[in-house]
């Protein structure tokens, strides 16, 4: 299988409704990261020989990405609106062969404008509920 180019991984946001999604690619993306994690459950008992024993606990996921700031981009506006309202939003992270999808809340939104460079918006989306993979 071929190595995946970073330009082939991007974020989409639902600009429609939950029942009738309209998947809009966020414009000007520079990068995108999907992080999946899990908590642990302590299963240590008197027979553990002095060693902790663990089982996988609740899972979690988040997406972070940067984009060149395009203030009239439909994806940017949708995510900024979700941040302002505090409402959950449906998101997808797309790779060449998979789509990861779920609801998330926007927990980070940073806009930076460095001297001599283009302005960038950075987002952190924290999943709420399951992440599906198709």
Rounded distance between C-alpha atoms, residue 116 and residue 121, angstroms: 16
Q: What is the pLDDT of residues 117-126, one digit of tens each?
A: 999 999 999 9
**Domain spans in the chain, listed from the N-terminal domain onward:** 6-38+55-133
pLDDT of residue 102: 98
**Which uninterrupted H or E stretch holds 83?**
helix 74-85
Domain 6-38+55-133 coded CATH 4.10.410.40:
yes
With CA atoms as reference, report the closest residue to 88 among 14, 28, 29: 14
- The average confidence (pLDDT) of the chain is 96
Start-to-end CA span in the chain (Å) = 18
Give 6-59 pLDDT, tens digit per residue: 999 999 999 999 999 999 999 999 999 999 999 999 999 999 999 999 999 999
Q: What's the predicted TM-score (pTM) here? A: 0.90
């Amino acid at each position: 299988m071929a190595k995946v180019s970073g330009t082939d991984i991007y974020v989409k946001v639902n600009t429609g409704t939950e029942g009738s999604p309209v998947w809009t690619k966020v414009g000007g993306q520079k990068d995108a990261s999907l992080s999946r994690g899990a908590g642990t459950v302590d299963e240590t008992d008197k027979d553990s020989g002095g060693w902790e024993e663990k089982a996988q606990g609740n899972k979690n996921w988040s997406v972070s990405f940067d984009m060149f700031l395009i203030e009239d981009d439909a994806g940017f506006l949708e995510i900024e609106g979700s941040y302002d309202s505090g409402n959950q939003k449906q998101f997808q992270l797309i790779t060449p062969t998979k789509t990861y999808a779920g609801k998330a809340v926007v927990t980070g939104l940073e806009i930076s404008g460095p001297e001599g460079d283009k302005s960038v918006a950075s987002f952190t989306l924290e999943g709420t509920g399951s992440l599906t993979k198709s």
